[in-house]
Every structure is written in structure tokens, then in C-alpha cells.
């Protein structure tokens, strides 16, 4: 066997193992999109078949079409490394960065966790409580907010999107929503949805009539969107289980003030909810934090952008922003 043939064999074995590892990481990263699932499974199968043909002996292929097919299978191995890199980035993006300028609040009375003149972050040891500096809160669709816009103090994903698509349509956003005074009705309203609305710096959470709340916000020139209700008047209203271990986020009202609460690390949802309840959050909406959908950043008191999750996916099309 020539050196070239030996190197080819080593390459195919390595790519078969790496493709299988990438497919496994796909589930660990919880990037549960049917298109990706099918694609990664096909890649594993292609590498397995290519390796099997190599072990059997490519020289035994009698027909031209068989040799061409083998070359195509071999060529597909060059897709494995980029595919693994994408999944690896998705896995890494599940881990929340540490926030070095946060204020330790492990022994701080809950009633003292309050906003300041500039954006402030508290670290309870379990969650970060982030109070962005703001004069208005808006929903932005289609074009991702720019970090160069110095008026933005917080940016993160907002509503669910019904389809995975590079293109954008307002009806793909789940739940009725308002963008700077314009109302968009959705065919995908859910019974468990609540609404967050903001007109100027006046915010509100609505659980009984979320569609009406969003409509009222639009008529007043404000913004709003719908998400699963998490906490209502201090009581848990999220009536389904989330067994996954990941970083979680909620848009919440704490001590009468609007804030973002992020888990400091990957944890069980029950543990996250327990800490949110311990803090005495009045109202809160669940914010999806799947890989890629957790893209978020804020502007600290030194006017520098701190990226919490920096892997935006091209099919994410709506964000909530705080502006000063």
C-alpha cells in the first residue's frame, strides 16, 4: 500500500469519527433544527460508506459510475471540519461569559438590588441581574442592531420565530408584536403567551389580554412582544418542564424596576426559577436561550460593549433593545 493510500485511509477514519462527534455535539449544544439534524446525519452516513469502501478496496470497483461515486463520497469528507467548527461554536456559545465589573450580591439584601445612573450588573452567585440604563425599550425586527450605535445599552433576542429562514417576514414572529408604533398580528399566538410592552420608559407586563396590550402599545407609539409568561405577581405561571441544562434568561420586574436576569452558568431550569423566585421578582417573561438565539450584549458604565453571547444565527430576526 502506498503512502498516499495510507494517508487517505487515516483521513477517512479521522473524518468519520469527527463527523460522528459533531453529530453528538449537535444534541449537546441543543441546536434542534430539523434541517441541521438531517444534514449532520447524512454527513455521518457518507463518511461511514466512504470508509467502508476504502476498507473493502477502491481498486475492486469495476464500473466508472462506482468510482465516481466513491470520489464524491471522499470529497464530502472535506465538509466535516467546517461542520464540526459550526457545532463547536454553538456548544461554546451555551456558556455565559463572566462579567468582571459586576457587583457581588451574594450577601446583599434583595431590596438593595436596584438600578443606578449607568448600567449596573449584580452577581448573586447563581444569576446576573442586569439593569441597563435606558429611556426607552423597543423591539427591532429584520436588521440586527449595531454595536456601534452608542444609544443602545442592551440587545438580545426577544420573541420566538416560527420558521428557520434566512429571509424575514413579520408573520414569522410568534405572537402579536409592535415595532415603534406599528402593530403586526401573528397567526401563532399561544395560550401561555404573556406580553411585555413599553411606551417611552413606561413598561408593563400583561397576562390576561396580551394581544390587547400589544395593540394599545402600538396605538401609543410604543413597542411590545409576546413570550411565555414566567412569573405573575410573584407566582410561577410557567406550567411546563424544561429539563435541559443550559443558560437561561428572563425579562423581569424586580423591586419595581425593569431588568434582565441571566443564569451565571449552565444549570437546570428549576434551579434558575428557584433563584428568580428567591429574589422576589414581581413579573417576568421567559426569554429563549438556545444556541445562537442567545446572542446578546450590553454597554457598560465605561461605554464599552460587553458581549455575553456573540454567535448570532442568520435566521434570528428580532431583538429587544434598551436605549438611553
Backbone angles phi, psi at 259, to 5 degrees: -155, 170
Instruction: Say how far apart CA 120 and CA 77 lie, in whole Å.
Output: 48
pLDDT at 267: 86
Q: Looking at residue 84, what is its pLDDT?
A: 84
The percentage of the chain sitting over the pLDDT mark of 90, rounded to a whole number, equals: 58
Q: Taking a C-beta distance cutoff of 8 angstroms, is the pair 77, 15 a contact?
A: yes
Residue pointed to by grid coordinates 410604543: 222
Pairing of strands 235-236, 177-179: unpaired
Q: Which of helix, strand or coil describes residue 110?
A: helix
Query: What is the average pLDDT across 56-76?
Result: 89
Q: For residue range 30-45, what is the model confidence (pLDDT) as tens digits?
A: 555 556 777 888 889 9
The pLDDT value given to residue 117: 93
Q: Per residue in 229-278, pLDDT tens?
A: 999 999 999 876 766 678 899 999 999 999 999 999 888 888 999 999 99
Is-contact 50 76, C-beta < 8 A? yes
pTM of the predicted model, to two decimals?
Answer: 0.77
Quote the pLDDT of residue 291.
63
Question: Average model confidence (pLDDT) for the chain?
Answer: 89
Nearest to 215, CA basis, from 242, 186, 243: 186
- Report d(CA 244, CA 263) in Å as an integer: 13
pLDDT in tens, 291-314: 667 889 999 999 999 999 877 777
Average pLDDT over residues 100-129: 95
Which pLDDT score is estimated for 244?
67
pLDDT at 283 over 90: yes
Distances (CA, A) of 224 to 152, 184, 191, 208, 213: 17, 10, 17, 15, 8
Amino acid at each position: 500500500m502506498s503512502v498516499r493510500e495510507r494517508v487517505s485511509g487515516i483521513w477517512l477514519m479521522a473524518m468519520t469519527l469527527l463527523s460522528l462527534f459533531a453529530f453528538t455535539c449537535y444534541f449537546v449544544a441543543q441546536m434542534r433544527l430539523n434541517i441541521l439534524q438531517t444534514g449532520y446525519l447524512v454527513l455521518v452516513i457518507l463518511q461511514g460508506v466512504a470508509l467502508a469502501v476504502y476498507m473493502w478496496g477502491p481498486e475492486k470497483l469495476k464500473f466508472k459510475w462506482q468510482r465516481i461515486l466513491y470520489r464524491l463520497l471522499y470529497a464530502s469528507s472535506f465538509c466535516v471540519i467546517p461542520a464540526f467548527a459550526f457545532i463547536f461554536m454553538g456548544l461554546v456559545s451555551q456558556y455565559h461569559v463572566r462579567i468582571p465589573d459586576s457587583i457581588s450580591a451574594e450577601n446583599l439584601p434583595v431590596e438593595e438590588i436596584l438600578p443606578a445612573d449607568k448600567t449596573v450588573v449584580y452577581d448573586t452567585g447563581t444569576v446576573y441581574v442586569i439593569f441597563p440604563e435606558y429611556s426607552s425599550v423597543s423591539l427591532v425586527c429584520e436588521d440586527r442592531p449595531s454595536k456601534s450605535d452608542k444609544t443602545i445599552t442592551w440587545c438580545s433576542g426577544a420573541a420566538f420565530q416560527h420558521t428557520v429562514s434566512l429571509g424575514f417576514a413579520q408573520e414569522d414572529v410568534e405572537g402579536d408584536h409592535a415595532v415603534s408604533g406599528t402593530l403586526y398580528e401573528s397567526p401563532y399566538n399561544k395560550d401561555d403567551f404573556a406580553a411585555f410592552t413599553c411606551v417611552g420608559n413606561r413598561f408593563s407586563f400583561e397576562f390576561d389580554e396580551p394581544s390587547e396590550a400589544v395593540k394599545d402599545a402600538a396605538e401609543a407609539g410604543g413597542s411590545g412582544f409576546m413570550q411565555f409568561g414566567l412569573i405573575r405577581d410573584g407566582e410561577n405561571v410557567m406550567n411546563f418542564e424544561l429539563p435541559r441544562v443550559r443558560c437561561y434568561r428572563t425579562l423581569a420586574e424586580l423591586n419595581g424596576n425593569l431588568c434582565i436576569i441571566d443564569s451565571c452558568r449552565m444549570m437546570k431550569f428549576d434551579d434558575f426559577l428557584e433563584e428568580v423566585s428567591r429574589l422576589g421578582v414581581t413579573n417576568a417573561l421567559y426569554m429563549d436561550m438556545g444556541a445562537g438565539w442567545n446572542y446578546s450584549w450590553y454597554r457598560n458604565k465605561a461605554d464599552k460593549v460587553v458581549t455575553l453571547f456573540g454567535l448570532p444565527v442568520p435566521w434570528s430576526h428580532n431583538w429587544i433593545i434598551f436605549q438611553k
